[in-house]
Amino acid sequence: MEELRNKVAESGLITIDLEKYYPANPINVFDIKDFLFMGQILKEKDFRESLDHVDWSTFNGLDVVITCSVDAVIPMWAYMLVVSKLEGNALSIHVGSKEDALKSIFLQHIQSIDSVAYEGKRVVVKGCGDILIPEYAYVEISKKLLPVVKSLMYGEPCSTVPVFKRK
């Protein structure tokens, strides 16, 4: 009887699971709207005083996105002032929507991957999982790996779609 062989294990393929780089922490919103006069106008003195009464320690170790959920004119210095209060407390600070912050954090995680570890290797970027991975993550990991890998594939080690092969 012929011995069973695990051809996938013998193939030398390295799998990258992008779920491992997906932001694990919830993103906390700091909404400037809560500090506007009549929900529409930013008065500098009142804004500064209101910010002085915020317990900034509640943001310790958290990912924070600064936004304004109403249609109001917010001067650029107001965002800078909020950052100056969050700095040293928040794990990371972003501006825009929760989705913008998620994208920024996710891309930072992917960019932190040491591509040297994949130099000359056959790499599969996992295609299925519990989290829906956005297209931009696949674009970023491709940009990161293409200069160094021997080959790049998408899918599962037992069923891959070839993307790139160095000649």
pLDDT one-digit tens code per residue, 132-149:
999 999 999 999 999 999
Q: How many domains does the chain have?
A: 2
pTM higher than 0.85: no
Q: Do residue 17 and residue 62 come from a single domain?
A: no
For all residues of the chain together, what is the average pLDDT? Answer: 93
| Burial of 98 per CB tally in 10 Å (0-12, 13-18, 19+) | middle
pLDDT for 167 equals 86
pLDDT for the residue 11: 58
Q: Residue 19 gets which letter from DSSP? A: G
pLDDT at 7: 46
State residue 103's pLDDT score: 97
For residue 137, being part of any structural domain is answered with yes
Residue with tokens 């594939």: 153
Q: What per-residue confidence (pLDDT) applies to 4?
A: 53
Structure tokens at 153: 């594939």
Q: Which residue, of 44, 63, 90, is where some domain finishes?
A: 90
pLDDT at position 69: 96
Report yes or no on 98 lying in a domain: no
Same domain, 37 and 84: yes
Weakly modelled stretches of the chain, pLDDT under 50 = 5-10
